[in-house]
Amino acid sequence: MKVVPGVGLAIATVTGVTGRIVLFGATGYTGGRTAEAMRARGLTPVLAGRDPQRLAALAERLGCETARADVTDMASVAALVGPEDVLVTTVGPFARLGGAALAAVVSAGATYLDSAGEPAFIREVFELQGPAAERSGARLLTAFGNDYVPGVLAGALALRDAGERAARVDVGYFVLGRGRLFSRGTLESSVGVASSPAYSVRDGVLQTEPGARRLRTYAVDGVPRPAFSVGASEHFALPRLHPGLRIVDVHLGWFGRASHAVHAASRLPAPPAAVAKGLGALVRRLPRDPDPAALAAARSVTIAEVFDAGGTLLARTRVRFGEPYGVTADLLAWGAQRASEQGVEGVGALDPVGAFGLDTLAELEFFSVERS
């Protein structure tokens, strides 16, 4: 057993993992990029899906094996994954499609990483599946991509700089660029997020609330940019690192001035199910992939600011990186390799800092960290 500094919990250290890496979602945009990022690291993941023929061309190009399995069928996934394996999934929306694979990993006692950004699913991983994973020895790393590793990293570094006076942390996510920057899958997930409850930490307690309940403006390279509140993995991760935190807020600033409209809409009565269904149908008619030229020109910055109980700013950290899909693919590939070759710290629902270490994350080659 090992005690993690700043957490105060004794957790098991898992090492020597030598199983396979199984990837679901390689026929999708994020999953395909993740498969390529894995091969760039010298990994040979098993590409799994209901129809291996759809995976055949990609598997041949990358030199990977395929396996027949349905990510929405727990028995199908369980037949493919053992205790030493690492399962990576990018198949969303996770609230609708992610539960079976998650349950199969928990049952098998395996390691799990996903690209989820949906508050309800993240909460399910930590609050419902986490205790079961502790009993089975499974290691669960949800939201292990642009949503929400950069914010956990930025928040943890700012908290370390702020010291014991830290009482509140705000995290803001921004993608700077123009044009069609998001995939159809991301927008489908966003429809689900908009129609689902979110959460925040208030008075040291996780509280349910509507998404976009609060609006905050951050200075991003000298330009004020609005962002609305969302539920995220930081609400679970950062209080583990600093139990004295009273407030944790995470804000999404991807949509520029439209953030004001989203915030205003959050105060209206919940839209009927027919509206959400109609929005989903509209999104499904959009192109699957972002515009390559627009995405190539985009850049991202995640900002964490820590305050004392009186509202005085104690520390600020900025984590810069390229476009969001690239960093998600790189993080999933890196995390799968690290978990497969060196293991992770702990069992249950884990956060990136607890699983891999703060300094290790800060030194990743695709992040640039600025602290003040």
CATH number, residue 312: 3.30.360.10
* Predicted local distance difference test score (pLDDT) of residue 13: 38
| Mean per-residue pLDDT, 131-141 | 97
| Cα 229 to the center of its chain, rounded Å | 16
What angle is formed at CA 142 by the lines to CA 329 and CA 335, rounded to 5 degrees? 45
Domain-located, residue 288:
yes
The answer on 279 and 208 residing in a single domain is yes
**Owner of token pair 């994954």:** 81
Q: Is the dihedral of CA 114, 117, 123, 126 positive or negative?
A: positive
In the prediction, which pLDDT does 272 show? Answer: 47
Let me know whether 306 and 337 are in one domain. Answer: no
Q: How many CB atoms lie within 10 A of CB 51?
A: 11
Q: What is the pLDDT of residues 145-187, one digit of tens each?
A: 999 999 999 999 999 999 999 999 999 999 998 877 777 777 6
Query: Is the CA virtual torsion 138, 106, 7, 241 positive or negative?
Result: positive
Q: What is the pLDDT of residue 273?
A: 53
Instruction: Quote the pLDDT of residue 12.
Output: 36
**Mean pLDDT value across residues 210-226:** 92
What is the pLDDT, as a whole number, of residue 279? 57
Indicate whether 294 belongs to any domain: yes
Are residue 330 and residue 319 in the same domain, yes or no? no
Asked whether residue 315 falls in the same domain as residue 177, the answer is: yes
Percent of the chain whose pLDDT exceeds 70: 87
For residues 38 and 336, the answer to whether their CB atoms sit within 8 Å is yes
Residue 371 inside a domain? The answer is no
Phi, psi of 302 (to 5 degrees): -120, 130
- pLDDT above 90 (res 222): yes
- pLDDT of 2: 31
Residue 234 has pLDDT above 80, yes or no: yes
pLDDT for res 16: 39
For residue range 87-113, list pLDDT tens digits in order.
999 998 898 999 999 999 999 999 999
Residues 155, 11, single domain; the answer is no
Domain match, 280 and 215 both: yes
Least confident of 12-26, 230-244, 297-311: 12-26
Residue 372 located in a structural domain: no
Q: Which long-range contacts (CB under 8 A, 24 or more apart) does 159-165 make?
A: 159/238, 159/241, 159/242, 159/245, 159/306, 159/315, 160/358, 161/306, 161/314, 161/315, 161/317, 161/371, 162/306, 162/308, 162/314, 162/315, 163/314, 164/244, 165/308, 165/309, 165/314
Query: Does 168 reside within a domain?
Result: yes
Tens of pLDDT, residues 60-81: 999 999 999 999 999 999 999 9
Domain ranges, residue 19: 2-146+326-359
Q: What is the tally of structural domains in the chain?
A: 2
Give the dihedral of Cα atoms 117, 118, 122, 125; nearest 10 deg. Answer: -110
What tens digit of pLDDT does each residue of 279-331 get?
Answer: 566 667 777 788 888 888 899 999 999 999 999 999 999 999 999 999 999 99
Does 233 fall in a domain? yes
Confidence at residue 304, expressed as pLDDT on a 0 to 100 scale: 98
- Both 345 and 317 in one domain: the answer is no
Is there a single domain that holds both residue 136 and residue 253? no
Q: Kindly report the CATH number assigned to the domain that includes residue 81.
A: 3.40.50.720
**Same-domain check for residues 157 and 273:** yes
Average pLDDT value for residue range 33-59: 95
> What does pLDDT average to over the chain?
88
Query: Which residue has 């609305």 as its token pair?
Result: 228
Residues facing 68 on adjacent strands: 49
Note the pTM of the prediction, 2 decimals.
Answer: 0.89
In a domain, 351, yes or no: yes
Do 156 and 139 have their domain in common? no
* Residue 119 confidence (pLDDT): 93
Structure confidence at residue 189 (pLDDT): 63
pLDDT band at 14 (very low <50, low <70, confident <90, very high): very low
Distances (CA, A) of 169 to 110, 153, 200, 347: 32, 12, 11, 26
Q: Is residue 157, in this structure, part of any structural domain at all?
A: yes
Does residue 301 share a domain with residue 178? yes
